[in-house]
A and B are shown apart, each in its own frame.
Chain A
Amino acid sequence: ELSQEQQNLLTYILDAYNKHRIPQDMAKKLLQEQFSTEENFLLLIEMATTHVQVLVEFTKKIPGFLSLDHEDQIALLKGSAVEAMFLRSAQVFTKKMPHGHSEVLEERIRKSGISEEFITPMFNFYKSIGELQMRQEEHALLTAITILSPDRPYVKDQRAVERLQEPVLDVLRRFCKTQHPHKPQQFARLLGRLTELRTLNHHHAEMLESWRTS
């Protein structure tokens, strides 16, 4: 079971996660309007920018984050922004959406000039997240854990970051045990997705390069 302190940490992170999300008008725009390849590209850039702004607001609410060295805060956010973005997007694709919505979104991403070799692993990742049937709490905690990765480039005080990440990991581990009693591997699988995210992050950097070129 979670201690009162752990329950508080969970509630705090979950509330922040639910509160800071992409505005609905922007999400609607993605579904309703028809755009050319170039407009798709610009819309995805706008979405990505908003994603980062929302992510920063969420991160500020993670207990202890603002007490970290300012440059370390930036290093953590820079290192994790893409991974957090993929996690959030995975949720969009695994949620039950009105008929046809996920197809429209997928079509838009496929028609934004991104090469197929980057698209396929991304949708594979979304599928693998879907298979885990994660609860909102798991999404919120996993996002916080991703952000609080002490091994990101340019982080100076790794120990301080570890001290923030460890309690969140512990809450996630306990939460998985109580919420998925018949799936003892749930916690390990969630951590496995973080490894997959690192690969996507790496691909993403290559993808941006190919996008810039084209």
Chain B
Amino acid sequence: PASNLGLEDIIRKALMGNVEE
């Protein structure tokens, strides 16, 4: 679950993800 992720993990994952258009 997201609550187990640290801030940096969330940022790294979101940066890698595709931009939703």
A206 to chain B, nearest CB (A): 16
Q: Flag if B15 contacts A49 (CB, 8 Å).
A: no
Q: A57-B20, A60-B19 are in contact. Are A77 and B11 (CB under 8 A)?
A: yes
Q: A52-B7, A52-B10 are in contact. Are A73 and B2 (CB under 8 A)?
A: no
Q: Flag if B5 contacts A49 (CB, 8 Å).
A: yes
CA distance A52 to B1 in the complex (A): 15
Q: Flag if B2 contacts A74 (CB, 8 Å).
A: no
Is there a chain B Cβ closer than 8 Å to A148's Cβ? no
Secondary structure dominating the interface of A: helix
Q: Flag if A53 contacts B3 (CB, 8 Å).
A: no
Interface size class of chain A, counting residues whose CB lies under 8 Å from the partner chain = 10 to 19
Map CB proximity to B onto A163-206 as digits: 1 under 8 Å, 0 otherwise: 00000000000000000000000000000000000000000000
Q: A57-B19, A57-B20, A60-B19 are in contact. Are A81 and B3 (CB under 8 A)?
A: no
A-B contact pairs, 25 of them (CB 8 A): A42-B3, A45-B2, A45-B3, A46-B2, A49-B2, A49-B5, A49-B10, A52-B7, A52-B11, A53-B10, A53-B14, A56-B10, A56-B11, A56-B14, A57-B14, A60-B15, A60-B19, A61-B19, A70-B15, A74-B11, A74-B12, A77-B15, A78-B7, A78-B8, A81-B7
Q: Which residues of B contact A (CB under 8 A)?
A: 2-3, 5, 7-8, 10-12, 14-15, 19-20
